[in-house]
Amino acid sequence: MLVTFILALIFLSALLFLGYGFLAWVGAAGVWLIGWRIVGIASPLLFESTVVVLALLALIFGVPPLRRSLISRFAMRVMTPVLPRLGETERIALEAGTVWWDAELFSGRPQWEKLLSFTPQGLTADEQAFMDGPVQELCTRLDDWQINQLRDLPTSIWVFLRTNGFFGMIIPKEYGGHGFSAIAHSRVVTRISSRSVAAAVTVMVPNSLGPGELLLHYGTDEQKKYYLPRLAKGDEIPCFGLTGPEAGSDAAATQSEGIVEKRVVDGKQILGLRLNWKKRYITLAPVATLIGLAFRIKDPDHLLGDVEDLGISCALISRDLDGVEIGQRHDPMGVPFMNGPIVGRDVFAPLDCVIGGREGIGHGWRMLMESLAAGRSISLPALSVGAAQMMTRISGAYATVREQFDTPIGRFEGIEEPLARIAGKTYMMTATRTLTCGALDAGEKPAVLSAIAKAYLTEGMREIVTDAMDIRAGAAIQKGPRNSLARAWDAVPIGITVEGANILTRSMIIYGQGAIRCHPFVQHEIDAIANDDLKKFDQAIFGHVNLLVRNATRAKLLAWTGSRLAAAPRTEDTRRYYQHLSRFSAAFELLSDVAMGTLGGSLKRREKISGRLADALAYMYLASCALKRYHDESKTTANYNLVRWSVELCLYRIQEALLGVLENLPARPAAWLLAWAIFPLGARFRPPSDKLGARVARDILEDREARINLTTDIFVPPPGEVGLGALEAALAKAVRALPVETKLRDAVRAGKLDRAPGSMLDEMGRKAGIISAEEYQWLRDADAARNEVVAVDAFDPETFKSLH
């Protein structure tokens, strides 16, 4: 009997760990009671009374109609004021897009095989030909210093962009576009951005949120047939007016409006809109011929029906209409892409200007949210990856070529440290871009993951560019044709700010939407309460209870066992990282439930807490992407070092985010219990070690293939061009000279040569026959190349006055 008891206890504990929730707790309590009775601890009266209680609990909670009547009805009344009430705009934003791997991370038990079996789409033959042809040719023609001085792209570049269909990458071939995939779109922007941010922005805006994207998904057939071919050919240059002085982060608060009215135009009475708006920060506005406009339609005369406020809509407005004021320019951080305000004063446009026609009236907010759910995944993450790969390429080469104290500066630990950060983050960011675009190409519109990619890749760009500037030091702050870093530095705040400022994205979108949208049950609970549906509420709330119980058990057991009980791919040398992420997934879901349960609807105003929860979710996703990349690519030593560095950084940041929530959760008793469950042995994760960082830095300094593999998406100029081109040529010469320099140092240590400064030692070695004449020339060539790439630009006073 005792053996039976032990087996039953093990079985029920397994049920708890695997997620069979509340009833398993009841069963476990019963088994424990039987055990006490066997060993004589429980008296017969206590035993019989408790059996009756447990049987009643099992009956109440195990029979749904009884449970709904006795428990769920009361719970529904209690939770109604606790759960957040969703306005219409919030509901539309929540319902936009899809959930994907984010739902797995929110489950507490991510199914890793699902991720590893997913195959992101590669480039088609047409897409690769475009990369190798027009994109490469464009990058060859671009001169970013010239663009900065002209304050615009040269006319020849605008013509090239139109002629080669750069403005129609997302437009299907049937309308004259390229019909490219998300990954192709991203890689085009990445490569161009490594050459010129202004050119990249000019290309990416017509292919992101704007007239083309909105027409594709919501336009009428007539609108598509007329506008899409013109947009694809560049006959129309689009912009999109969303942000205004009164509506920045709260775009739904727009005061731009269109009043429905009738006018006689050319002798005909036309039903249309009298539009008034003020928009700012609108990219391509100064040169746009077609304005996409978000505004609120009002029908005070009830020309369309009984409803006066018809909601936010999107329309296409020609710049030539009377009352449109367009052409002025903003100056976004000195980066000279076209950006400026648009004002409309009593502009009249026919009603068919609304995207989607009359059926599209009032659906503009949904159109915008659904488009952003996908669009955030592409443009700014691509720009960030371009900057990261560029910084990796420049910093790795410069740290090898630049010498101080007769030693390449990359050998110094002070340079090793930022080099490792640059390489490790670049690996992780490129992995995130690839996987997120892969999800898009598979038909997903992952709203939360898109927001993570936008916010955390642009933040990664900021960190990487800062490190690259520190490595380049004085040469990095002297602007001129030789300096490839300063213009990236100028552009960083733009990526941080647009398409949802990162502060907003982190605290409100990623977790605010993620907690409801990705959680298996919360949105069902909210919907059930809103619809007064007791049956659906019962299913959701007890599914939620089971999930909470399961993850409380899993989080505790995984914490005590160092994550070793978590399932993970068995063939992976990164198995332990999968297990740790599974542990944090359970802990994150448990902590989320407690935060939502104790704070209720006020959680969305506790942005410091929600921001830390967003950090935890984001770094679980970034780590997943890095592991997926390592799984899919060659298992080289360099890749192993990079994935270890990336994931260890993520694990540390997840830990710190969860600890930050625990330290600041207002319900202190709950926080203490959670801390004991989630971190019973304390905070054990650390950032990547110095030893691992040194390996990563050495890989990009000494392993040419590793450095190229990290930077495959960028444009590398020819050797004769100042900047990266000259730096790459200098690197080749420096690498060729390294064995010769080693030979001379060995001769000094052996006493065959006296110590002397570099060029004098070279000459002494040649005369002593230690190095050949050819080797001596290699040293001279390397020195000349070094001098060229460490040089900075200087200008005469008159030229300097005209510089931008």
Q: What is the DSSP secondary structure assignment for residue 280, as one 8-state letter?
A: E
User: What value does the CA radius of gyration of the chain take, rounded to a whole number of Å?
Assistant: 31
Pairing label, strands 324-326, 339-350: antiparallel
Indicate the pairing of strand 257-265 with strand 324-326.
unpaired
Residues 286 and 279: beta-carbon distance below 8 Å: no
Residue 306 parent element (H or E): none
Among residues 202, 212, 161, the alpha carbon closest in space to that of 284 is found at: 202
Alpha-carbon distance values, 739 to 742, 775, 789 (Å) = 5, 9, 21
Catalytic: 222?
Answer: no
CA distance 804 to 331: 11
Q: What is the three-class DSSP state of 263?
A: strand
Element (H, E) at 278: strand 268-283
Give whole-number Cα distances, 601 to 89, 326, 611, 728, in Å: 16, 43, 15, 55
308-340 burial: b if 16+ Cβ within 10 Å, else e:
eebbbbbbbbebeeeebebeebbebeebbbbbb
- Bridge partners, 313 (sequence order): 295
Closest CA relative to residue 784, chosen from 726, 701, 742: 726
3-class secondary structure, 261: strand
Q: How many helices (H) and strands (E) does the chain have?
A: 35, 9
Please choose, from the candidates 466, 323, 468, the residue with its C-alpha nearest in 3D space to the C-alpha of residue 399.
468
CB neighbours of 322 closer than 8 A, spacing ≥ 6? 347, 348
At 42, list the tokens: 């429980």
The helix-helix angle for 364-375 and 211-218 (nearest 10°) equals 110
Nearby residues of 758 by Cβ (< 8 Å), 6 or more positions away = 403, 406, 783
Residue 148 burial (10 A CB sphere; 0-12, 13-18, 19+): buried
Residue 74 in tokens: 């009361």
User: Per the residue annotation, which of 416, 459, 499, 648 is the catalytic one?
Assistant: 499
State which amino acid sits at residue 495: G
Kindly report the CA angle at 724 between 722 and 725, in degrees rounded to 5?
65
186 and 382 in contact (C-beta within 8 Å)?
Answer: yes
Which two structure tokens, joined as six digits, stand for 180? 């490219």
Residue 277 β-bridge partners: 344
- 3-state secondary structure at position 107: helix
Two tokens at 411?
């050998």
Residue with tokens 């594709």: 216
CA distances from 119 to 113, 134, 589, 609, 631 (A): 12, 27, 27, 35, 11
Distance (Å, whole) CA 518 – CA 107: 8
- Residue of 266, 274, 352 whose CA lies nearest to 315: 352
The set of catalytic residues is 499
